[in-house]
Chain A
Amino acid sequence: MAQQRVPTTPTTNHENRAFWEAADEQQFMIGHCRACNEPHFYPRALCPFCFSDETELRQASGEGHIYAVSVMRRAPVPYALAYVTLAEGPVMMTNIVNCDFDALAIGQAVEVTFQASEDGTKVPVFQPV
């Protein structure tokens, strides 16, 4: 496997810290609203659909498929930026890792994995199943 880009370590705040702390423990969470029962991404204090403050983090399956992908070739270490449609519904921005960039395709099944960022904190990324 060629060298892989190291994700930037997120600077967190009170609202999003729980998501990143869970990720560091290799748990992949998404936002969920108890009022309208809809999942959302990114997780936040107010539901973007019904504006309730009854939101919480729920562990997601970590399964999904590629919605869109662009391999950044002109970078010190090329990397695949992607949107992944999660099995739960929401689409999120991520990287596809541990793969042959030239073989990536929209619709391809992927699963969550965790990659150490610059300071070692793990962040969720995806790899082909």
Chain B
Amino acid sequence: MTASKAYIAGAFEHPTRKAEGKSLAQLYGEVAKGALEDAGLTHHDVDGFFCDTEAPGLGPLSLVDYLGLNVRHVDNTDTGGSAYLLHVAHAAQAIAAGKCSVALIVLAGRPRTSGQNAEPPVDWNVPDMTFELPYGPLVVNTYGLCASRHMYEYGTTSEQLAWIKVAASHHASHNPNAMLRKIVTVEDVLESPMISDPLHRLDCCVVSDGGGALLVVSEEIARELKRPKVRLIGSGEAVKHQNGGRIDLSHSAATEAGKIAFGEARITPADIKYASIYDSFTITLLMQIEDLGLCQKGKGGAFVADGGLISGQGRLAVNTDGGGLCNNHPNNRGGITKIIEAVRQLRGEAHSAVQVPNCDLALASGMGGWMGSRHGSGVVILERAD
């Protein structure tokens, strides 16, 4: 596969974290408008549309109409919170195939205002879940299973996991829109209530309203636009599950997705200047950072400890917007904000306190579903192209 010719031309993160007085569709409209204005395009230019399966109205059907779009390509691939990473890759593939030239990717939700929780509705037709639901699996305790196993296999500690939250809080302190802007310490994390061993409350991401949107465009379109150019040079996707009972929590699907993405981009993990890594929980980030090869397998704890992820002082700047842990996790789906912050870094438009100097290569990684049982990983590698 040759390097893609697709560019991320527009990126917008809704500033709200609590969308009182707004409908869900309105949020979708506002993020779409924001991304189009960022790119310098109009809704008449959009000919491809991407959303998840929670979008109101059978995926794209109602929203395409609400947004007044006239599209010739739609895609509502859903792997949970990582879906938007896959959307970027699929948009690039659709552009390469001539199916569209301006792809709009949207996410919006208001779980905080509506009180809707992160658990999906119970569906006894899901074949594997029938054998799990009697036992009370939730999002948090299935990630807890991963953390307990990681600690057992690699000696990872709660202190090391806490450093992931500490780094996020340092970054969020510079983000006026972040939900949690107060800098926290390792002790704050360890003293927060235990939710499901070994994950404390501060090992968990925020629940926020809002959303985001991206525009993926062809090279011809990108050439006409004024904004700094961000090119997609590699992508990978993978799913991992219970494999008939041969369960292995030692690594995630990011291992496979990362390998594919790095191979396509023809670079190595050591080349990455900035990484956005899905952080629904601290353990989610820790496992991906190892599985992507950004550090040695099993050594993630030491890598993130002592401020390892803090921009300007650590080993690798990660989630400089404050991530899902402190900034935003709109509709319990954090993938799109991962790409948006990577775009900011490559454009040199991150907050000056967290901007990585000469950031020309960035990675964004998403982890959707339940890392402890069935999950989907999406990885994109982006470069500054001018």
Which residues of chain A have a CB within 8 Å of any CB of chain B? 5, 7-13, 15-16, 30-31, 38-42, 44, 47-49, 67-75, 79, 81-83, 86, 89-95, 106-107, 117, 123, 125
Contacts and interface: CB of A to CB of B under 8 A. Distances in A.
B149 A90 contact: no
Contacts of A69: 145, 148, 197
B134 interface: yes
A69 B148 CA distance: 6
Interface string B129-164: 011111111101110111111001000000000000
B134 A81 contact: no
B57 interface: no
A42 B198 CA distance: 27
B23 interface: no
Nearest to B241: A48
B195 interface: yes
A70 B196 contact: yes
The listed residue with most A CB atoms (<10 A of its CB), out of B137, B146, B147, B199, is B137
A52 to B, nearest CB: 12
Contacts of A10: 124, 130-131, 133-134
Contacts of B193: 73-74
Contacts of B245: 30, 39-42, 86, 89-92
B3 interface: no
Contacts of B130: 10-13, 16, 42
Contact of A73 (B194, B242, B246, B247): B194
B282 to A, nearest CB: 14
Nearest to A115: B134
A44 B241 CA distance: 15
B373 interface: yes
A42 to B, nearest CB: 4
B249 interface: yes
Contact of B244 (A5, A41, A71, A125): A41
Interface of B: 124-125, 127-128, 130-138, 140-142, 144-149, 152, 193-199, 242-247, 249, 372-373
Contacts of A107: 152
Contacts of A73: 193-197
Contact of A9 (B134, B138, B196): B134
Given A16-B131, A42-B131, A81-B141, A106 B246 contact: no
Contacts of B243: 48
A70 B133 contact: no
11 contacts: A10-B124, A12-B124, A13-B130, A39-B245, A68-B146, A69-B197, A72-B196, A106-B149, A107-B152, A117-B134, A123-B134
Contacts of A71: 196-197
Nearest to B152: A106
Contacts of B196: 70-74, 81
B145 A81 contact: yes
B135 A7 contact: yes
Nearest to A101: B197
A72 B134 contact: no
The listed residue with most B CB atoms (<10 A of its CB), out of A67, A95, A123, is A67
A70 B373 contact: no
B136 A5 contact: yes
A48 B244 contact: yes
B298 to A, nearest CB: 16
Given A7-B135, A73-B193, A67 B127 contact: no
Contact of A95 (B135, B145, B148): B135
Q: Which 8 A-B pairs have the closest CB atoms?
A: A90-B245, A70-B144, A48-B244, A41-B245, A11-B124, A40-B244, A91-B247, A42-B131
Contacts of B124: 10-13
Nearest to A106: B152
Contacts of A86: 245
A70 B148 contact: yes
Given A89-B246, A106-B148, 18 more contacts: A7-B136, A13-B130, A16-B127, A16-B130, A40-B244, A41-B244, A70-B141, A70-B142, A70-B196, A70-B197, A71-B197, A74-B195, A74-B196, A81-B145, A92-B245, A93-B135, A93-B137, A107-B152
